[in-house]
């Protein structure tokens, strides 16, 4: 199997952490620039987005959540997603974090539009506010209190590192001190540092 990814993509990073966690050796990681529109990549994912997992039978899996669930089910008996299958509240917490990743990436796209003179103050503020409200909510929910690693914690590390990488101006640590303490301890573990965004 082949995982198309880019080093900067927080979605692809989540998948790569799952792969590391289960020490999967059957998946080769292939760097791709999604904006280069390479034929072989677009044939695997018509959306042109990373991550995309090309399976041995020629079919593909996307988006990141589907690939994460696939890896979790195939190699770990759904250990990282745990009880979420029939726990709608838990599912919603995952959606909250995934939505925050969407806001963080959309905020980055707004920054890039500045170069074309197209950056919108309205959308910039809207994405920032969604992120700040979401962080508060994540802290209150106590998602970091589980001792055993969860899918939600994986996505949270990817989100916080991505904020440091692309949006240091957000100063998220001032807003959510409990998340800062947790992040400081967990983000230095090899399973996370191996895929730090760059
Ligand atoms: N919902 C998708 C989002 C993936 C995504 O937006 N990836 C970005 C990189 S961070 C990308 O490939 N962008 C290229 C594009 O939007 O055309 C997922 O969870 O995998």
54, β-bridge pairs:
2, 60
Please tell me the distance from the alpha carbon of residue 189 to that of residue 157, in angstroms, as a whole number. 11
Query: What was the pLDDT predicted at 55?
Result: 98
Look at the alpha carbons of 135, 5, 21, 74 in this order and tell me if their dihedral is positive or negative. positive
Closest ligand 1 atom number to CA of residue 50: 12
Report the pocket of ligand 1 as residue ranges, CB < 6 Å.
9, 11, 34, 48-51, 63-65, 105
- Across 34-38, 87-91, 164-168, least confident range: 87-91
At residue 188, does pLDDT exceed 80?
A: yes
C-alpha to C-alpha distance for 64 and 86, rounded to whole angstroms: 20
**pLDDT given at position 13:** 98
Distance CA 113, CA 99 (A): 21
User: Which atom of ligand 1 is the closest one to the Cα of 51?
Assistant: 20
Q: Which residues of 50-68 are buried (b: 16+ CB within 10 A; e: fewer)?
A: bbbbbeeeeebbbbbbebb
Query: Residue 98 CA: which ligand 1 atom is closest?
Result: 19
Domains of the chain: 2-76 (3.40.30.10), 82-193 (1.20.1050.10)
| Confidence tier at 83 by pLDDT (50, 70, 90) | confident
Amino acid 115: pLDDT: 87
């Amino acid at each position: 199997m082949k995982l198309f990814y880019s080093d900067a993509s927080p979605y692809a990073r989540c998948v790569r952490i799952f792969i590391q966690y289960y020490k999967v050796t059957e998946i080769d990681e292939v760097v791709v620039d999604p904006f280069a529109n390479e034929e072989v990549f677009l044939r695997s994912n018509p959306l042109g987005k990373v991550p995309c997992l090309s399976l041995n039978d020629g079919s593909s899996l996307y988006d990141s959540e589907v690939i994460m669930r696939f890896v979790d089910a195939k190699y770990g008996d759904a250990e990282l997603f745990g009880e979420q299958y029939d726990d709608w509240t838990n599912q919603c917490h995952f959606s909250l974090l995934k939505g925050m990743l969407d806001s963080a990436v959309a905020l980055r796209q707004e920054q890039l539009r500045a170069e074309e003179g197209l950056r919108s103050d309205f959308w910039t503020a809207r994405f920032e506010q969604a992120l700040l409200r979401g962080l508060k909510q994540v802290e209150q929910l106590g998602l970091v209190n589980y001792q055993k690693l969860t899918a939600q914690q994986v996505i949270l590390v990817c989100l916080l590192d991505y904020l440091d990488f692309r949006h240091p101006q957000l100063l998220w640590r001032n807003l959510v001190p409990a998340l800062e303490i947790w992040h400081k301890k967990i983000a230095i573990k090899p399973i996370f540092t191996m895929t730090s965004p760059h």
